[in-house]
A and B are shown apart, each in its own frame.
Chain A
Amino acid sequence: MIDLSQVTVGFGGRMVLADVTFSLQPGDFFFLTGPSGAGKTTLLRLCAGAMTPAEGEVRLFGRPLSEMTSDARAGARRRMGIVYQDTQFLDHLPLEENILLPFTVRGPVDAEMRAQAQDLMTWVGLGGHRAALPPTLSGGERQRAALARALLPAPELVLADEPTGNLDWEMSLKLLTLLIELNRLGTPVLMATHDLALIRAAKPMVNARVLRLKDGKLTQAGAAL
């Protein structure tokens, strides 16, 4: 569904990704680890079609990114559930409107969509914050909201950048379990995380692979984890 082949990205002469090849297929569950600044976010942004590589090819749903119009990229993004690390909201809109955005940009929002959003918000523990403005929420609350927004339109795949970074253990496990449930239904998941304990906790539940990004190289971590 997403294919990066021999992709190279550099910022100001510094190589962040060097000759990286990666493929996300239906049913896959990947953890992406690596030191801070290794390029995890960069790799996720490539997968989301939010940037283009200096070299190599990115294919989204089989189509080369370089040949996609901006409308086609938007179309591809509608099939993805994306959670960025610094969760992004429209700060002047209430949380519920923010979570409904994937529907808003597609067309009219109906009562059923609203009910769906409210269910999801309640499930991630934000039922009481529907009218809150994003800047007034805690870091963990915003992360939960971002995940709720990403999952609301039933995406075909999930790209999540540190979705549990600010969460307590219990909430982290709860969200991880949700992603694993989705994955069992066939939705591929790529999740960047520093949390090795979380990866270990996932092990009995899902056949996940752990990728490690370091010095621009992407490797599959050993069975040690």
Chain B
Amino acid sequence: MSLADFLRGAPGAGRVVPSAGLTTRLVAFGTAAMAFLAVFAIALAVMLIRLGDSWQVDLAGTATLRITSAGEAREADTETAMEVLRTTPGIETARVVPPLEQQALLEPWFGKDMPFDTLPLPRLIEIETTPEGFDARALGLRLAGEVPAARLDDHDRWRAPLARAQARMTGLTLAALALIAGTLAAVKALAARAALAENAQVIDVLRLVGARDTWIARAFVRRITLQAAAGAVLGVAAAAALLALIPGTGAAGLPALRPQGLAWAMVLPVPVLAAAVAWFTTRRSALRLLKGRP
């Protein structure tokens, strides 16, 4: 029985299996639930991948130097630090962030009324590295000697664990997707089993009139697969509707869970895949069960 045969359908085979079985309705429900979960898992995976990308783009190749000394020393230390940076290999540009710009950065966190000029704010130097990057350890040692009040923040320090966490979460999400597919397959195998048991008389009658096992299996598989596909479409629709309700921009600079643009297309294969899993597993278990029956 090829997929083409299946889609064409055996003439009359569709009707020989009673439709209103509890099994087929449970199959539809189970598939809808799995498809629903799959869409969320996919959305999560897409979000995590995007998150990783944005960190790479925003943070790779940058570093920050903070000059924490107070009063007059701050200007002098900043000068010295800039001198050090200019002579450090691997640094493309270094720029002192003007106080006003720095203030603008902090405003969202502390509000407009904060008396910024009276605060002992560190001076910030933005560094852009060459593609090869610089030796953070060597620079750290040199600064410790010449400008003890300078603190180097090369972003990798906190980016690396975040990237690791992101990779792990992405892996977990993909594992969840695999589990969903596995559960779907198990549900389908059980469904085939139950449907064949529910319809023992149907099988006896079909055998009596000379039906081949593949023909009998096809009648059951077709019914279960179509139910599964219908359930999956419902599940995907429900999940997509819920995702669409989530605000487009995420909180605290995180990308939103809601898929953007083309990412929506990622959920389209879910019903197709669910139907394919249903077709394959049901067919396998139906044929195996029929073989076991005399």
Contact = CB atoms under 8 A, between A and B. Distances in A.
Interface of A: 48, 50-52, 70-71, 74-75, 77-78, 82, 84, 88-93, 97, 101-102, 104-109, 149
A84 B12 contact: no
Contact of A104 (B12, B18, B208, B214): B12
Interface of B: 11-13, 15-16, 18-19, 201-202, 204-215, 290-291, 294
B212 A70 contact: yes
- Find the residue from A50, A75, A90, A107 having the highest chain B CB count within 10 A: A90
Contact of A78 (B210, B213, B214): B210
A89 B204 CA distance: 9
Nearest to B16: A90
B294 A105 contact: no
Contacts of A93: 15-16
Contacts of B207: 50, 74, 77
Which 6 pairs show the lowest CB-CB distances between chains A and B?
A78-B210, A105-B211, A104-B12, A77-B210, A102-B209, A108-B11
Nearest to A82: B208
B208 A84 contact: yes
Given A74-B210, A77-B209, A88-B201, 10 more contacts: A48-B208, A50-B208, A70-B212, A75-B210, A82-B208, A88-B208, A90-B18, A92-B19, A104-B12, A108-B12
A155 to B, nearest CB: 10
Contacts of A109: 11-12
Contacts of A89: 205
Contact of A88 (B11, B15, B205, B213): B205
25 contacts: A51-B294, A70-B212, A70-B291, A71-B212, A71-B214, A74-B211, A74-B213, A77-B208, A77-B209, A77-B210, A78-B209, A84-B208, A88-B201, A88-B208, A89-B205, A90-B16, A90-B18, A91-B201, A102-B209, A102-B210, A104-B11, A104-B12, A105-B209, A108-B11, A109-B11
A90 B212 contact: no
Nearest to A78: B210
Contacts, number: 70
B15 A105 contact: no
B206 A70 contact: no
Contacts of B11: 104, 107-109
Given A51-B294, A90-B205, A106 B210 contact: yes
Nearest to A101: B209
A135 to B, nearest CB: 12
B202 A105 contact: no
Contacts of A52: 294
Given A90-B205, A104-B11, A50 B294 contact: yes
